[in-house]
Structure 1
Amino acid sequence: MKVLVTGGGGFLGFHIVKLLLAEGHEVRVLGRHRYPQVEQLGGECYVGSVTDLPSVLQACEGIEEVYHVAAIAGVWGEWEDYYNTNYVGTLNVIEACQTHKIPRLIFTSSPSVVFAGQSQTGLNETTPYSSKWLTHYPKSKMMAEKAVLAVNSESLKTVALRPHLIWGPGDNHIIPRLVTRARSGQLAVVGNGKNKVDIIYVENAAKAHLQVAEELRLRGQSAGRTFFLGQKEPVVLWDFINEVLKREGLKPVTRKIPFFMAYTIGRSLEWVYRWFNRKEEPRMTRFIACQLAKEHYYDHSLAEEVFGYDPHISVSEGLDRLYAAKGLM
């Protein structure tokens, strides 16, 4: 089968590409440049952008299944960039699928589409979308997810997956940033340090995409639906962070700041950065404060029931794999 992965040179996208190639599929990647790691494995790279409809239409020629992973993530930036890439880019992918009569579209969404800064414990897919946004990313992903689910039909079956806090080999976002801040003495426990969160090892997230795609092909019970993805069991965030720091040879984080203080600092920094039109991300934002202090974990039983989701790589094994890849074991 010939498959397209948008953003296939990125963190999650490349792991999806590797699994697809291992299963014997022909894989084309749509990205802003060529990816040697993809081509070395036998994948095809098509240079283009999801924001450019002609690029997407051309990339989708001859394709039988699309994994739409490409997105701008992060907690800081211009709304126009998030809107164009995450929302308009998704509309372009949908139009290309419809134009070329591609029967299946698997979309990578985010649990942040239901997150408004409050603690969330064991929520399931009946949870409504948030109406309050602390940053542009979740709003743009919500708009994209709604668009994907709205076009589900017999001719184009669509599904949205919501993996939470993806980490593992190749991650250049979550763990590296935490380690960098810890090394510079800029990391502190926000809140009481006991908050539990969902995290997901990258290979578990990638495999779930292939599992739900197979379910779409064979039965279609996942069509038009969205699914939370995590490790089944939440972890205490700061215990996980301190285990990472231990493996990095760093001391655990013990300094604490109250949540209200971090949130207030974040709100103030956001105002200052916008006033002075600073492009770099503030050290603290309201969204980051909430993510570091609040509980946010979800119920994965629907994914287990519908397409057999099973995060087979544990957190401990994932850490072993991560640091084996870094040569620190």
Structure 2
Amino acid sequence: MKVLVTGGGGFLGQAVCRLLTVRGEDVATLSRRRYPALDALGVVQHAGDVRDPQGVRSAVAGCEAVVHCAALAGMWGPAHAYRSVNVAGTANVVDACLRAGVARLVHASSPSVVHEGRDLEGVDESAPYARRFLAHYPASKAIAERIVLAASGDRLATVALRPHLIWGPGDPHFLPRLVEQARRGLLVLPRAPGKRIDTVYIDNAAEAHVLALDALAAGSPVAGRAYFITQDEPVTVAGWVNGLLAAAGLPPVTRHVPARVARAGAAMVEYGYRLAGVRAQPPVTRIAAVQATTSHWFDISAARRDLGYVPRVSTADGLARLAAHLSAPVPVPHAVDARDGR
């Protein structure tokens, strides 16, 4: 099967490409730059941007399936930037699939599409989309997910997966920032007793996308649906953060502040950055403070039932793999463009 992975050079995209090539699929990617790791896998790389309709059509031509991982990640930046990549870019992918007669489209979405600042404890896919969003990223991903699911029909079968807080070896986003702040002594965690979150290890997230690809077909019960993807091991924020720090050979966070102080402090930092016209993402954002002080873990029964998804790599095993990866002497990896996904 010929499969195009948009954002194939990103964290999730590369992991999906690895799984597809291992099982012998004909894999191509659409990314903004070339990635040596994909060359090593024998992946055909199309240089392009999902914001360019013609470029997307050229990459999709001749493919039987598409896994759409390309997205502008992060929780900081102008709304138009997120809309142009995550909304318009996704619409371009859907349009190209319909024009080219692609049969299957798997869309990498996010659980943040249902999170508006309240606790989410064991909720399933019946949870409604958030009525208000805490950042432009989840707002744009909610629109994109709706576009993808609305397109599902006789011509194109679509599905959206919502992997939660992807982590593991090669993470170019959360882990590097966490480690940098820890080494600078800047990490402070909010006190959030009883609040738990769930996450997903990179290999599990990638396997879920391949399973969804296999399950998709016109008329399939999977088509037109969204699925939460996690470790199914809810933990406290402190437990998760300190586990990552331990894997990086760093001590646990010992400083804590009340939840309301964390939220107020994040709001002040954001205000200061905006007032000064700073484009870089602040060390703490309001959405990060809210997510660190609320529960957000999900019922993945539907993914287990319909996709055959099982988080094969446990959190403990994932942390052990991460520790081994971080302690091994490796060359500096090629930079990942934020627009090439998670």
Q: TM-score range by the shorter chain?
A: over 0.9
Which residue matches 2:94? 94
Shift of residue 192, structure 1, vs aligned partner = 3.0
1:57-68 correspondence runs (5 A): 57-68=57-68
Look up the SS of the partner of 1:197 in the other structure: coil
Range with bigger deviation, 239-248 or 115-124: 239-248
Which residue matches 2:264? 264
Deviations 1:172-230 (A, max 9, x none): 11222212111111111112355211110000000001111111149721000000010
Q: Is 1:188–2:188 an aligned residue pair?
A: yes
Shift of residue 118, structure 1, vs aligned partner = 1.5
Which residue matches 1:4? 4
1:270-289 correspondence runs (5 A): 270-289=270-289
Amino acid at match of 2:116: A
Look up the SS of the partner of 1:77 in the other structure: coil
Look up the SS of the partner of 2:129 in the other structure: coil
Shift of residue 312, structure 1, vs aligned partner = 0.6
Shift of residue 14, structure 1, vs aligned partner = 0.2
Structure 1: segments with no counterpart, 5+ residues: none
Say whether the 8 Å CA contact 2:114–2:127 is kept in structure 1. Answer: yes
Aligned partners of 1:219 and 1:36: how far apart in 2?
Answer: 39
TM-score by length of 2: 0.93
Deviations 1:244-269 (A, max 9, x none): 22333322112111111111122222
Look up the SS of the partner of 1:196 in the other structure: coil
Say whether the 8 Å CA contact 1:262–1:284 is kept in structure 2. Answer: no
Range with bigger deviation, 191-200 or 119-128: 191-200
Which residue matches 1:44? 44
Look up the SS of the partner of 2:216 in the other structure: helix
Aligned partners of 2:303 and 2:224: how far apart in 1?
Answer: 13
Range with bigger deviation, 151-160 or 210-219: 210-219
Shift of residue 328, structure 1, vs aligned partner = 5.4
Look up the SS of the partner of 1:326 in the other structure: helix
1:41-190 correspondence runs (5 A): 41-190=41-190
1:12-31 correspondence runs (5 A): 12-31=12-31
Aligned partners of 2:183 and 2:241: how far apart in 1?
Answer: 13
Aligned partners of 1:158 and 1:218: how far apart in 2?
Answer: 9
Aligned partners of 2:221 and 2:189: how far apart in 1?
Answer: 42
Amino acid at match of 2:55: S
Structure 2: segments with no counterpart, 5+ residues: 330-342
Say whether the 8 Å CA contact 2:51–2:89 is kept in structure 1. Answer: yes
Taking structure 1 as reference, are residues 170 and 217 closer, same or farther at Cα in structure 2, changes over 3 Å only? same
Deviations 1:255-290 (A, max 9, x none): 111111111122222223223321011122210101
Amino acid at match of 1:209: H
Aligned partners of 1:326 and 1:249: how far apart in 2?
Answer: 9
Which residue matches 1:231? 231
Deviations 1:77-108 (A, max 9, x none): 11111000000000000010010010111000
Which residue matches 2:340? none
Amino acid at match of 2:129: Y
Aligned partners of 1:89 and 1:251: how far apart in 2?
Answer: 41
Say whether the 8 Å CA contact 1:194–1:238 is kept in structure 2. Answer: no
Aligned partners of 2:34 and 2:260: how far apart in 1?
Answer: 45
Aligned partners of 1:35 and 1:46: how far apart in 2?
Answer: 11
> Which 4+ runs in 1 deviate beyond 6 A?
none
Range with bigger deviation, 306-315 or 239-248: 239-248
1:235-314 correspondence runs (5 A): 235-314=235-314
Q: Is 1:33–2:33 an aligned residue pair?
A: yes
Aligned partners of 1:182 and 1:34: how far apart in 2?
Answer: 32
Taking structure 1 as reference, are residues 55 and 218 closer, same or farther at Cα in structure 2, changes over 3 Å only? closer
Deviations 1:120-146 (A, max 9, x none): 110110101001111100000000000
Percent identity of paired positions between Structure 1 and Structure 2: 43
Deviations 1:15-45 (A, max 9, x none): 0000000110110100001111111111000
Amino acid at match of 1:311: P
Aligned partners of 1:304 and 1:99: how far apart in 2?
Answer: 32
